[in-house]
Amino acid sequence: MHKTIRWGILGCGHIAGKFASDLALVPDAKLVASYGRDLNHAEAFAARHGGRAYADREAFLASPDIDVVYIGTPHSCHVPDTLDCLEFGKPVLCEKPFALSLDDADAVIAKAASKRLFLMEALWTRFLPDFVEADRLVRDGALGTPHLLCADFGLAVRFNPTSRLFDPALGGGTLWDIGIYPLFLARHFLGNPDSLEMTATLGSTGVDERLSLSLAWKNGSLAHLLTSFREATPCRALLYGSSGTLAFEPMFHTPTDLVRTDAAGVVRRIDFAREGFGYQHEALHVNECLRQGWTESPLWSLADTRELLVLLRRIADRLPAAGGK
């Protein structure tokens, strides 16, 4: 592996632009190439972020200068894009959700294993400093036993039936785009739920534009989660334990602060320095994995990705007209 790990970006959309911007904050990483279906768009992306622009997909994938590819395309493209990268021998960091079906996820995982290539879902929240610290606090018993999570994630989005957020063919709906975040928190801190109840508001294209979830565990733990494309909500998460609480503020899925309250009511705020959007932390982790010769992350494994997808599918399969089966 070269001293500087050379990245390619497949897809030149909004999130890919954020990732590219943050990649410049990683000292041992360099963006060398980006691919977009439209050459003018790809060239504009490269002018902003560096590297060479490609509109020839095969030429991009075959480039010997690319050590690893970040995939930032719409949800429905993640599986074919990842399979193509793996076929050309490229390790992959694929934007969430990794896949929309278990069969597709298993096919991609099997492909990476057969090629002995690194593969990880880009669930960037897992690598943010505030989440790493929250995870440490919970594991060290700072909250006692966690037993209740309340989290919301709402964005007031202008309706566009052809947008990836609203088009069912592109994996639209709040569940796949933003619901994955509170569900990740619930599963990480409380485990896989034993039962769930849900209420959804479906839009004119058939995808969920509001989603309310109540998860329950046999040990009595609960999670109440809310997502919306119709209302902007505080995007806060509050984890209650037997001897304290932990609040993620102001938006739990991005670089944020932690507010810890102990059993005596003493409040401690933990401030985190902010630089960029926060995508650099997952890129740093991928670089380390590649240098170690690992084929998956020890922090966000392919088994973790698959188990979260099982939960997402449990919910998607109960939506009347959404889910990307």
- Summarised one tens digit per residue, pLDDT across range 291-311 is 999 999 999 999 999 999 999
- 156's tokens: 């007031």
Residue 324 has pLDDT above 50, yes or no: no
Asked if 60 and 49 touch (Cβ cutoff 8 Å), the reply is no
Nearest of 157, 173, 176 to residue 165 by alpha carbon? 173
Q: Give mean pLDDT, residues 109-116.
A: 98
User: Looking at residue 90, what is its pLDDT?
Assistant: 98
For tokens 């947008």, the residue is 163
Q: Give mean pLDDT, residues 116-144.
A: 96
Q: Give mean pLDDT, residues 279-284.
A: 97
User: Strands 222-228 and 52-54: what pairing?
Assistant: unpaired
Asked if 121 and 305 touch (Cβ cutoff 8 Å), the reply is yes
User: Looking at residue 221, what is its pLDDT?
Assistant: 98
- 36's tokens: 């977009």
Share of the chain above pLDDT 90, in %: 93
For tokens 């990245």, the residue is 7
Q: Is 298 exposed, middle or buried (0-12, 13-18, 19+ CB in 10 A)?
A: exposed
> What does 280-308 look like in DSSP terms, one character per residue?
HHHHHHHHHHHHHT-SS-SSS-HHHHHHH
Nearest of 130, 105, 169 to residue 301 by alpha carbon? 105
What does the alpha-carbon distance between residue 248 and residue 239 come to, in Å, rounded to a whole number? 8
Residue 321 has pLDDT above 90, yes or no: no
Burial 36-64 (b: 16+ CB within 10 A, else e): beeeeebbebbeebebbbbeeeeebbebe
Tell which wins on pLDDT, 323 or 193: 193
Q: Give mean pLDDT, residues 204-209.
A: 95
Asked if 75 and 63 touch (Cβ cutoff 8 Å), the reply is no
Confidence of residue 1 (pLDDT cuts 50, 70, 90): low
- End-to-end C-alpha distance for the chain, whole angstroms: 38
pTM: 0.94
Confidence of residue 250 (pLDDT cuts 50, 70, 90): confident
| H/E element, 118 | none
Sequence-separated (6 or more) residues with CB below 8 Å from residue 77: 11, 71
- Which domains does the chain possess? 5-122 (3.40.50.720), 128-278 (3.30.360.10)
